[in-house]
Amino acid sequence: MDKVENNRKIIETYYESIASGDFETVISLMHEDVVFNIVGETPYAGLWEGRDNIYGILVPAVVSNFKEGSVKFAERWNVMCVDENRATGLMSAIAETHKGEKLDMTYCHILKFNENQIIEVHEFFDTAQGERLFSNDKLNGHSGKLGPMNY
């Protein structure tokens, strides 16, 4: 399998695993030193370094904003392009907050790969919706490092 085919398989497995709730596989696709660059100025935004921070702090904080059982990430997704180093994809997200407000968002991801894992993610989404629906106290004082995205 060439590098482009391998990267396509990684991003497709990433979205399929998110959709099915298989976060063991999602986490296994991430390098331990993966970096997330998240657009915006909220505490969720900025530079998040390391798989443990991302899946131990950031992701649980995002999910905790919503009623259990209402979250459906990546029911719809599409790989837009793939090359030897990166892939770009779109992913849906719907959920209901504890106050009954609806999340209906599209995420755009630019993923960067080493030989067999994701080493960097650039994530773009509706920041106004995120600011309205995501509670900052869910991060327990943690946040990404604000500043321009690295690319």
Measured CA to CA, the distance from residue 130 to residue 44 in angstroms comes to: 9
Query: What's 66's domain CATH number?
Result: 3.10.450.50
Q: Evaluate whether residue 40 is within a structural domain.
A: yes
Q: Evaluate whether residue 139 is within a structural domain.
A: no
Looking at residue 130, its pLDDT comes to: 84
Amino acid at 4: V
Per the structure, the count of domains in the chain is 1
Measured CA to CA, the distance from residue 105 to residue 101 in angstroms comes to: 13
Q: Evaluate whether residue 142 is within a structural domain.
A: no
Q: With bands split at pLDDT 50, 70 and 90, how would you rate the model's confidence at 34? A: very high
pLDDT by residue (tens digit) across 99-149? 999 999 999 999 999 989 999 999 999 888 888 888 777 776 677 776 655
Q: Evaluate whether residue 143 is within a structural domain.
A: no
Q: Evaluate whether residue 102 is within a structural domain.
A: yes
* Residue showing tokens 């030897």: 84
Amino acid at 150: N
Of 131, 137, 114, the closest CA to residue 40 belongs to 131
Looking at residue 43, its pLDDT comes to: 77
**Cα dihedral across residues 72, 78, 81, 82: positive or negative:** positive
Q: What is the pTM of this model?
A: 0.91
Q: Evaluate whether residue 133 is within a structural domain.
A: no
Measured CA to CA, the distance from residue 9 to residue 89 in angstroms comes to: 12
Range of the domain at 61: 3-126
Q: Evaluate whether residue 35 is within a structural domain.
A: yes
